[in-house]
Structure 1
Amino acid sequence: MSVWLTGAVVVLTLVAAVVLVVALVRDEPAQDRTFALLAVTEVVLVVQLVVGCVLLAGTERDVDGVLFVSYLVGVTLALPVGVFWSLAERTRAGTAVLLVAVLTVVALQLRLEVIWSGRA
């Protein structure tokens, strides 16, 4: 996998996590700028999905393809699910759901790197 994509995903999600923690402490729902940050993160995740599938098709590594693609799809879907849930619940709980979704992306991303390295 691309170190740049992984770094971008981790940095963007950690910045979003800090913004969401601040919103939770202030007892505010997520703001438009938070959703914009998550949209940028989602674009990077979609690019990662495409790049990951292309790299998998051309690699000689011992990577479990089904597991790898499943994690790619899962990490790509985690944020939209959290965003839709948060938009339906415009309270502090909705902000907490977004925080959980963002932290889920970080965990899935790190697991994706382990799978790509062949140590799955």
Structure 2
Amino acid sequence: MNGVLSTVTIVASLALALWYLVLAVLNRAPGRAALLAALGLSALVLVVTVAAVVWLATGHRPTDTVVFVGYLITFVAVPPTGFQLARMEPTRWGSVILTVTCLTVPALVLRLQQIASA
């Protein structure tokens, strides 16, 4: 697992979470820019996922491959799911959904790193 790429993903996700939290506190639904940022996070997550798959394909083995792949599937599924749910909820709760999504991503990155390095 790439340390720099993981760090960028964590920082970007936490920055977006803060932005979405401010929107929720201000009682605003996520606008076009907020939704595009969520798509950007999804793209970044996809890049990390490809890097993890390449890491696995080059012979590296985590402590538990099945758990690692399960976390990887969850990791790649969370941002698009949060995006879609936020689009369906045109109230401040859409911003709350994106906040929770963005707070979940760093937890998954850290867990993937733990499994990969242990």
| Cα distance in 2, alignment partners of residues 62 and 29 from structure 1 | 40
Kindly indicate whether the alpha-carbon contact (under 8 Å) linking 2:62 and 2:68 is maintained by their aligned counterparts in 1. Answer: no
| Cα distance in 1, alignment partners of residues 86 and 6 from structure 2 | 25
Kindly indicate whether the alpha-carbon contact (under 8 Å) linking 2:28 and 2:91 is maintained by their aligned counterparts in 1. Answer: yes
Letter in 1 for 2:111: R
Q: Secondary structure at the match of 1:63?
A: coil
| Higher RCO structure, 1 or 2 (CA under 8 Å, sep 6+) | 2
Q: Which position in structure 1 is the counterpart of 2:29?
A: 29
Alignment of 1:35-114 (within 5 A): 35-114=35-114
Q: Which position in structure 2 is the counterpart of 1:13?
A: 13
Please report how far the alpha carbon of residue 57 of structure 1 lies from its aligned counterpart in structure 2 after TM superposition: 2.1
Identical residues among aligned pairs (%): 31
Scaled by the length of structure 1, the TM-score of the pair is 0.90
| Cα distance in 2, alignment partners of residues 84 and 91 from structure 1 | 14
| Cα distance in 1, alignment partners of residues 100 and 85 from structure 2 | 11
Q: Which runs of 4+ in 1 moved over 6 A?
A: none
Please report how far the alpha carbon of residue 16 of structure 1 lies from its aligned counterpart in structure 2 after TM superposition: 0.5
| Cα distance in 2, alignment partners of residues 62 and 111 from structure 1 | 11
Letter in 1 for 2:19: V
Distance 1:21 1:42, change over 3 A: same
| Cα distance in 2, alignment partners of residues 106 and 16 from structure 1 | 11
Kindly indicate whether the alpha-carbon contact (under 8 Å) linking 1:56 and 1:65 is maintained by their aligned counterparts in 2. Answer: no
Give deviations 1:63-99, integer Å, cap 9, x for gaps. Answer: 3222112211211110111111111111111211111
Unaligned segments of structure 1, at least 5 residues: none
Q: How many residue pairs end up in the alignment?
A: 118
Per mean C-alpha deviation after superposition, the further-off stretch among 34-43 and 62-71 is 62-71
Unaligned segments of structure 2, at least 5 residues: none
C-alpha RMSD over aligned residues: 1.4
